[in-house]
Chains A and B, each alone.
Chain A
Amino acid sequence: MATMNMLQAIRDALDLKMADDDNVVIFGEDVGYFGGVFRATDGLQKKYGKNRVFDAPISELGIIGAAVGMGAYGLRPVPEIQFADYILPAYDQIASEAARLRYRSSGEFFAPITIRTPCGGGIYGGQTHSQSPEALFTHVAGLKVVMPSNPYDAKGLLISSIEDDDPVIFFEPKRIYNGPFDGHHDRPVVPWSKHPASEVPEGLYRVPIGKAAVALEGSELTILAYGTMVHVAIAAAQESGINAEVIDLRTLLPLDEETIVASVKKTGRCIVLHEATQTSGFGAELATIVQEHCFYHLEAPILRVAGYDTPYPHAQEWDYFPGPARVIDAMREILETA
């Protein structure tokens, strides 16, 4: 075991897969010599050479388009998109190409690509360094969408993603790279070393894609969350004294419906929580699944706590960000319903 933050866990997963499989290649903007703007690939070019870890032109379309071709050749590319906000130029190559290549060719060609990209807010990044575009990808047949909330899962899920023969969008909530941020921006940063999930096994291990985890057991209500919001939900439960169960989805597509349904059937109340804008957000999918499977167990309407339907603001970041106060309000509201 070693104590790692998210970045170290991600780098460790990349390092191990590079050593394990010659077909793994890493490229993206600034990822080579410099090791990435968040340093997730630090040292990898030196260790594995420029043939396998290299800088790419500032062309997200080009990065993913090239990755599709490399995947078709037989490599296992792990491109980085520097910020999820900049993934849209590559959207066609992801949604129409990587996602459908297998379908189009009856599996003759496929795109075993893992697209790593930092997402989410909380760093005063404004409109272009804060967004959570996961719903743009969960809507696409043929993709897998993953978002870990801690170092242990980040490493295990990244290894699973790289080994997966289907394209995976691997979202890394950048605010929790260095510590489990619970939404209290005015408090000092807590390092990962204080968190049990920073205990990371050395060597390869896998966290399966498509399996959620119960991050906090409880009985009064269920909060469905992922990424940074898992920590916000736990903080809200602890601060309010409400006995909430927090489900960390970990994978959004394919979704672990069993874990969700079991929890909501048990608690009878459900809040869906995400940073992304509310309308047509992934929470809408979650709410639908809950009502389809748990309708007769529900004791209150499902509530959504999400980013407001505005572009991500700068100065108003902490009014926008769905922090513990908003979650506690929602928990109180849902418990007041008889």
Chain B
Amino acid sequence: MEINYKSGFQVPEPSSRPGDTPNFSYLSLPSPLDSVRPDTSCKASEMRDLAYGLVRVLDDSGMAVGPWNPNVDAEFLVRGLRAMEKTRLFDERMMRAQRQGKTSIYVQCRGEEAVSCAHQMALEKGDMCFPTYRQQGLLIAQDFPIVDMMCQIFSNAKDKLGGRSLPFFYSERDYGFFSISGNLGTQFIQSVGWAMASAIKGDDRIASGWIGDGASAESDFHAAMVFASVYQPPAVLNVVNNQWAISSFHGISGGAEANFACRGHGFNIASLRVDGNDFLAVYAASSWAIERARKNLGPTLIEWVTYRAAAHSSSDDPSKYRPDNSFDLWPLGDPILRLKNHMIQLGIWSEEKHQALIDELTLEIKEAGKQAESFGTLGKGSKPSVSEMFNHVYKDMPAHLRRQRQKLGV
């Protein structure tokens, strides 16, 4: 008789594929009132539940409720909304520029704007983020000059990085924005090293490290957790779980059998799982973790539950691996809409005001775009000199590089 042994090998599959109705039943949505906000001095071992729940502030009716409500004023809300909307409009414009051949590649953060914008608003000058390529909101929320971002995206003559780096791989030390690497995950342990240095020096500046759900499978993630656990440096470790790597869903990086936040437990690191599309929850949770770090009470791991609404990059076509209308049915909604509705509920905002904001930002971005394009776009107009290619390999150019440059005649 033939015995059929069931194979023990499994490859996780997302809940829906092209043609299916998006199914997000795997995500449970607790009410903001269900959450507990411990003191920032709480022991990691006494707040384990927070890694399994979901920190939220905005309820279904759009009101800010519960223990995590940061009770910010109207001016703050307007700033947040503006930063998120500006980030989205900037992305849209740069995406079009990419389609027009003005740059080689572009990455949007559509749907995830709250994560970077609200987090930035909780940081202080001197703190250092170690971002991925999807946290442009960290710069935009600080009113960083978008012309400079565009000049780099276009690799033109005003590109501060001399054309050496990929578009949108910004480096802005004075804005607490560490140089972006294309090698996934590497910055996560580097952020812990930076925080260790801050602790060694008795400094009160904190590091904020960033990684995606996909890249959290890299060894760098685990090294960061070990070092953060061992040395207890002032670091906030952010996993942006936007559900997708490129075409692989979070289950392929180990996020289906267990979530990302609870990975902190094995290291006894305080861990939060947060509604990343709730601007107020992001601000509240960031502030909590930042205060904890600044008071030298230990590092925090935060899983931001959000959704990558756009393609992975301008080179990607998500319709090949997930239903087209996924984001429309994403249970945590659109972070901009949610904050806007909240502000309308409060009576401090209106559709008219919002349209006026969009018009103003669109104009600002258009003007910036024109200005940036006047300095050239990729392969068109003025561009960084060829000799820039040889600069900054070392502090002082060694003889062999000088000879190579001279041979090229630049």
A: which residues have CB within 8 A of B?
25, 51-52, 56-57, 59, 61-62, 65-75, 89, 92-93, 96-97, 100-110, 141-142, 144, 164-166, 210, 254-255, 257
Contact = CB atoms under 8 A, between A and B. Distances in A.
Interface string B277-315: 000000000000000000000000000000000000000
A104 to B, nearest CB: 5
A104 B161 contact: yes
A73 B164 CA distance: 23
Given A57-B230, A109-B173, A73 B194 contact: yes
Interface in B147-167: 160-162, 164-165
Contact of B190 (A66, A108, A141, A257): A66
17 contacts: A57-B226, A65-B189, A65-B220, A66-B193, A66-B196, A69-B194, A69-B195, A69-B197, A70-B194, A73-B128, A73-B193, A96-B183, A96-B186, A97-B181, A104-B171, A141-B393, A165-B395
Contact of B197 (A73, A104, A142, A254): A73
Contact of A73 (B162, B188, B198, B391): B198
Contacts of B391: 106
Contacts of B198: 73
A69 B192 contact: yes
A210 to B, nearest CB: 7
Nearest to A79: B193
Given A59-B222, A59-B227, A75-B197, 4 more contacts: A59-B223, A66-B227, A72-B190, A97-B183
A87 to B, nearest CB: 15
Interface in B199-214: 200-201, 207
A67 B173 CA distance: 18
B178 interface: yes
Nearest to A143: B394
A131 B105 CA distance: 41
Contact of B226 (A62, A68, A110): A62
A306 to B, nearest CB: 22
B133 to A, nearest CB: 12
Nearest to A58: B226
Contacts of A89: 219
Of A25, A70, A210, the most chain B CB neighbours within 10 A belong to A70
Contact of A61 (B165, B223, B230, B398): B223
Interface of B: 128, 130, 160-162, 164-165, 169, 171-173, 178-181, 183, 186, 188-198, 200-201, 207, 219-220, 222-224, 226-227, 230, 391-395, 398-400
A62 B400 contact: no
Contacts of A110: 395
Nearest to B182: A96
Given A69-B193, A70-B196, A97-B186, A109 B395 contact: no
Contacts of A109: 171, 173, 178-179
A165 B230 CA distance: 28
Given A62-B223, A73-B198, A68 B164 contact: no
Nearest to A54: B231
A57 B227 contact: yes
Contact of A69 (B171, B196, B201, B398): B196
B47 to A, nearest CB: 24
Of B195, B197, B226, the most chain A CB neighbours within 10 A belong to B197
Contacts of A101: 179
Nearest to B190: A69
B399 A105 contact: no
A252 B197 CA distance: 30
A92 B219 CA distance: 11
A177 B130 CA distance: 39
A65 B228 CA distance: 12
A102 B395 contact: yes
Contacts of B188: 65
Given A97-B183, A102-B395, A166-B394, A61 B193 contact: no
B186 A254 contact: no
Nearest to B161: A106
A14 to B, nearest CB: 17
Nearest to A96: B183
Contacts of B222: 59
Contact of A70 (B181, B186, B193, B395): B193
Contacts of A61: 189, 219-220, 223
A273 B328 CA distance: 66
A107 B395 contact: yes
A92 B189 contact: no
The 9 closest A-B pairs by CB, nearest first: A69-B193, A66-B193, A65-B189, A62-B223, A73-B197, A105-B171, A254-B398, A69-B190, A105-B179
Nearest to B194: A69
A62 B398 CA distance: 30
B186 A103 contact: no
Contact of B224 (A62, A102, A108): A62
Contacts of B197: 25, 69-70, 73-75
B200 A75 contact: yes
Contacts of A97: 181, 183, 186, 190
A105 B398 contact: no
A189 to B, nearest CB: 37
Contact of B400 (A65, A164, A254): A254
